[in-house]
C-alpha cells in the first residue's frame, strides 16, 4: 500500500507534515509513505535514519493557501500537490494526503485523479465532533455547489461505506439535513432526495434538523455543498467567538484568573472534544483513490491521524464497497 504525502501543504509544512509522516511510517510497516516536495527542506526534518518505508519525490513548486484553485492546479505542474495527484492517477500511489489548499485539492482530485465510474459529483466529507462525545461525518462541505437529488443519494452511499470501514460504525445512521423532522419538509432538493435516500442500501434515519446535528442523532449527515460549507464555517466561527468571549471573562482580574485556573481541567476536556487533531482529515469521496484533506493547521499528530485514515480507507477497500453498492449488488442494510 503506497500513499503520497503532499509535504509542502498546510500552515506548518513541511516540518509538521514530515514529523507526522515519520510517526505514521514507524507505526504502520505495511504502508509505504512517499514524501513529495522540496527534498532539501524535507530532509532537514527527516533525520539521519528514516524508516525504510519512506520514499522521496522531489518537486520545485508549492500551491499556496491563497492561490486560485483551478489556475494553481493547471499552472503549477511541478507542485507537490499536483505531482502527488498524478502519482495516484498513474498507480504509483494508491492514495494521497494533503493539508494544503482545499479548493486546489478538490480540483486536483477531480481533474487529475478522476471520479469513480458512476459517481456524478465528488463530495468533501468533514468529521464533526458531537456534544455527546462522538463524531459525525458531514458531507458535502463544499466540493459541489449545485447539488441535485441523485448527488445527495450518492453522497449517502459513499459516506455509508466510509463510516462502516474507516469510522468502524457497524450500521451507520444516515440523516438528511433539513428544516423539519417530518418527511415532506424542505425545499425542492430535499423533497426529491428523501425518497431516494429511503430506498438506498443503507440505514436512512430521516431528516435531521440543524439544532440536532451536534447531538449525536446520526453518523452521517447529508447536505448540499453550499449549506454544508456554511454550517461548517458557522461552527468554526461560533466556537472561536464563544471561546474568545470566555477568555475575556476569565482574564478580567486576579480573582477571575484564579477561578479560571480551578475550572481549567474541566474546560480543557470540553475543548478537547472539539480538537480536530483527534478526528483527522476530510476524505474527498467519489475520487478514484484515497484522497484525504488534513486540516490546514495540522500539527504532526493531526497529520498522522489523516494518514491513519488513508490507510484504513485502502485496507478496508472503501472504493470497492462504493462500486459494489453503486452497482446495486450491495447488501441491503436498512
| Closest CB 229 distance from a copy of itself, rounded Å | 5
Quick one: 11 or 317, whose CB is closer to a copy of itself? 11
Which CB, 74 or 238, lies closer to a copy of itself? 238
Nearer residue to a copy of itself within complex by CB, 39 or 209 = 209
Kindly tell me which of 14 and 142 has the beta carbon lying closer to a copy of itself: 142
Q: Which of 89, 212, 301, 324 binds a copy of itself (CB under 8 A)?
A: 212
Based on the shown chain and the rule CB under 8 A, indicate whether residue 214 belongs to the binding site for a copy of itself.
Answer: yes
Q: In this chain, which of 198, 245, 275, 317 binds a copy of itself, going by CB under 8 A? A: 245
β-sheet with 220-222: strand ranges across: 54-58, 32-37, 2-6, 95-98, 290-293, 282-285, 123-129, 135-139, 220-222, 173-177, 203-208
d(CA 260, CA 263): 5
For a copy of itself, give the closer residue by CB, 4 or 231: 231
Is residue 139 within 8 A of residue 123, CB to CB? The reply is yes
Sign of the Cα pseudo-torsion (117, 119, 122, 123, in order): negative
Distance CA 122, CA 175 (A): 19
The residues in 9-48 that bind a copy of itself, with binding defined as CB under 8 A, are none
Q: What are phi and psi for residue 249, nearest 5 degrees?
A: -60, -40
Q: Does 90 bind a copy of itself (CB under 8 A)?
A: no
Between residues 90 and 242, which has the closer beta carbon with respect to a copy of itself? Answer: 242
Please report whether residue 236 would count as binding a copy of itself according to CB under 8 A: yes
- The size of the chain, in residues, is 334
Question: Closer CB to a copy of itself, residue 237 or residue 320?
Answer: 237
Q: What share of the chain is helix, strand, coil (3-state, %, to 5)?
A: 50, 15, 35
Residues 188-207 that bind a copy of itself (CB under 8 A): 188, 190
Residue closer to a copy of itself (CB basis): 1 or 235: 235
Q: Is 129 in the site for a copy of itself (CB under 8 A)?
A: no
Burial of 334 (0-12, 13-18, 19+ CB in 10 A): middle
Q: Please say whether the beta carbons of 46 and 18 come within 8 A.
A: yes
User: Contact 302/139 with Cβ under 8 angstroms?
Assistant: no
Q: Does 256 bind a copy of itself (CB under 8 A)?
A: yes
Q: Taking the complex as a whole, how short is the minimal distance between the CB of residue 275 and a copy of itself, in angstroms?
A: 14
Nearest CA to 213 out of 284, 141, 271, 267 is that of: 141
Nearest approach in angstroms of CB 142 to a copy of itself is: 6
* Greatest C-alpha distance within the chain: 66
Q: Alpha carbon of 93 to those of 280, 300, 333: distances in Å?
A: 20, 22, 32
User: Which of positions 106-125 make contact with a copy of itself (CB under 8 A)?
Assistant: none
Find the binding residues for a copy of itself in span 139-168 (CB under 8 A): 142, 145-146
Q: How many of the chain's residues bind a copy of itself (CB under 8 A)?
A: 51
Residue of 29, 263, 272, 317 that binds a copy of itself (CB under 8 A): 263
Contacting residues toward a copy of itself, per CB under 8 A: 131, 142, 145-146, 177, 179, 186-188, 190, 209-215, 225-227, 229-242, 244-246, 248-250, 252, 255-256, 258-260, 262-263, 266-267, 270
Amino acid at each position: 500500500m503506497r500513499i503520497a504525502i503532499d509535504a509542502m501543504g498546510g500552515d506548518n509544512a513541511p516540518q509538521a507534515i514530515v514529523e507526522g509522516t515519520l510517526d505514521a511510517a514507524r507505526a504502520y510497516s505495511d504502508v509505504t509513505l512517499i514524501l513529495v516536495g522540496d527534498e532539501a527542506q524535507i530532509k532537514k526534518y527527516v533525520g539521519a535514519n528514516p524508516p525504510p518505508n519512506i520514499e522521496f519525490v522531489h518537486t520545485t513548486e508549492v500551491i499556496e493557501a491563497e492561490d486560485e484553485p483551478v489556475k494553481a492546479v493547471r499552472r503549477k505542474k511541478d507542485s507537490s500537490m499536483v505531482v502527488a495527484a498524478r502519482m495516484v492517477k498513474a498507480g504509483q500511489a494508491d492514495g494521497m494526503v494533503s493539508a494544503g489548499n482545499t479548493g486546489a485539492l478538490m480540483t486536483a482530485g477531480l481533474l487529475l485523479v478522476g471520479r469513480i465510474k458512476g459517481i456524478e459529483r465528488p463530495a468533501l466529507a468533514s468529521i464533526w465532533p458531537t456534544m455527546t462525545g462522538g463524531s459525525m461525518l458531514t458531507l458535502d462541505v463544499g466540493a459541489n455547489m449545485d447539488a441535485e437529488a441523485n448527488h445527495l443519494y450518492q453522497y449517502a452511499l459513499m459516506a455509508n461505506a466510509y463510516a462502516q470501514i474507516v469510522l468502524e460504525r457497524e450500521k451507520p445512521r444516515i440523516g438528511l439535513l433539513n428544516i423539519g423532522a417530518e418527511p415532506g419538509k424542505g425545499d425542492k432538493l430535499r423533497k426529491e432526495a428523501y425518497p431516494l435516500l429511503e430506498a438506498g442500501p443503507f440505514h436512512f434515519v430521516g431528516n435531521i434538523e440543524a439544532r440536532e446535528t451536534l447531538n449525536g442523532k446520526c453518523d452521517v449527515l447529508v447536505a448540499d455543498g453550499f449549506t454544508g460549507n456554511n454550517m461548517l464555517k458557522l461552527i468554526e466561527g461560533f466556537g472561536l467567538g464563544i471561546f474568545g468571549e470566555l477568555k475575556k471573562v476569565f482574564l478580567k482580574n486576579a480573582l477571575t484568573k484564579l477561578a479560571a485556573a480551578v475550572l481549567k481541567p474541566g474546560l480543557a476536556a470540553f475543548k478537547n472534544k472539539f480538537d480536530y487533531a483527534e478526528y483527522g482529515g476530510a476524505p474527498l469521496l467519489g475520487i478514484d483513490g484515497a484522497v484525504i484533506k488534513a486540516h490546514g493547521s495540522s500539527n504532526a499528530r493531526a497529520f498522522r491521524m489523516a494518514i491513519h485514515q488513508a490507510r484504513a480507507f485502502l485496507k478496508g477497500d472503501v472504493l470497492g464497497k462504493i462500486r459494489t453498492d453503486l452497482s446495486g449488488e450491495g447488501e441491503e442494510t436498512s
